[in-house]
Amino acid sequence: PRIAESPATDEARSDQPVMSKGNEIVLLVEDDDGVRGLSRRVLAKCGYTVLVARDGAEAVRIASQQERVDLLITD
């Protein structure tokens, strides 16, 4: 259908989700390679420093070598 208004530009749309930008350190513990890789990429794209571990033992080792970890994500 024809409309008199011009379509809204991407900048003008307020219904689009806003991606958070973080600067915290996230420790991601995931045994599935695909899930771990995707999660790492998404978190890094959002500005987080992402430390990855395949299991709990590796996560404990990584965390003990860090001055701080702001968030732990695990399944």
Lookup: tokens for 56: 């709990």
Q: How many CB atoms lie within 10 A of CB 24?
A: 13
* Cα 11 to Cα 63: distance, rounded to the nearest angstrom: 40
Q: Which residues pair with 51 in a beta bridge?
A: 27
Residue 58's identity, in one-letter code, is E
Q: Which residues of 30-54 are buried (b: 16+ CB within 10 A; e: fewer)?
A: beeeeebeebbeebeeeebebbbbe
pLDDT tens by residue, the chain, 75 residues: 677 776 666 555 566 676 667 889 999 999 999 999 999 999 999 999 999 999 999 999 999 999 999 999 998
- pTM flag (> 0.85): no
